[in-house]
Amino acid sequence: MSRFRFFYGVILVSLIFVGCSKEDNTEYFSVLGTVVKTNDSTVVVSDEDERLLVKNSGSLSSINNNERVIVYFSILDQSLPAGIDYVIEIFNISKVLFKPVLVLTEEIADSIGSDPMTVRDIWLAKDYLNLNFEYYGQNELHYINLIRFPGEISTDTIELELRHNNNDDAASVLMNGFVSFDLESLKNPGDSVVLHVKAQEYNSHVYDKYFTYKF
């Protein structure tokens, strides 16, 4: 059985272990994935391509098909239907912001912003670039985007920038955010492309990293 990655501090969410006691030996897990709903089942497909059949599917009633989520769950000991890796019971869920890669144009340049942030963690999984980041704020809604520059999609290296707009918010409280970016628009006729990702961080530091996106 795979151990799933726990997303401590990824987003501000209260984790309530329903019905737990000191004698409860139930193991709890979390996973980042995509919800797939059909007429008779609800499945979370993890970024490791494991299929988790949700026993208490009503817990995802407010989540639409193909939305990104982090689910917190226990694994049930029961027979597995065909094509299912685990049957799970969800006890908490967090919807994940899911955004496309934007092409930077003059029309959106001001709204995209160029305010600093801190990249806590960033990784590629399937067709997603997942970002865990920190920023300072107080009351205003902040925006985070991944942009590429105008022109044809390169077959070699694509230059990308993470952009943060703090909407002139007061920098008084350290906050945390999480987002998945859809990379499918960056595919070329080949089988891979290099992504060069930059971000303006605090104290004039520039985050700079290369990823190989295979498809």
Query: Can you read off the two tokens belonging to residue 44?
Result: 């979370």
pLDDT value for 24: 63
> pLDDT for 36-67, tens place per residue?
999 999 999 999 999 999 999 999 999 999 99
Contacts of 77 (CB under 8 A, 6+ apart): none
Q: Give the 3-state DSSP-derived string for the chain, with helices as H, strands as E and coil as C.
A: CCCCCCCCCCCCCCCCCCCCCCCCCCCCEEEEEEEEECCCCEEEEECCCCEEEECCHHHHCCCCCCCEEEEEEEECCCCCCCCCCEEEEEEEEEECEEEECEECCCCCHHHHCCCCCEEEEEEEECCEEEEEEEEEECCCCCEEEEEECCCCCCCCEEEEEEEEECCCCCCCEEEEEEEEEECHHHCCCCCEEEEEEEEECHHHCEEEEEEEEEC
Banded pLDDT at 27 (limits 50, 70, 90): confident
Per-domain residue ranges of the chain: 29-95, 97-214
Contacts of 86 (CB under 8 A, 6+ apart): 1, 50, 51, 52, 53, 75, 76, 80
> pLDDT for 166-205, tens place per residue?
999 999 999 999 999 999 999 999 999 999 999 999 999 9
Matching CATH number, 29-95, of 1.10.1040.10, 3.90.1150.10, 2.40.50.500, 3.30.460.90: 2.40.50.500
Look at the domain 97-214 and name its fold: Immunoglobulin-like (2.60.40)
Q: Are strands 143-148 and 102-103 parallel, antiparallel or unpaired?
A: parallel
> pLDDT for 88-137, tens place per residue?
999 999 999 999 999 999 999 989 999 999 999 999 999 999 999 999 99
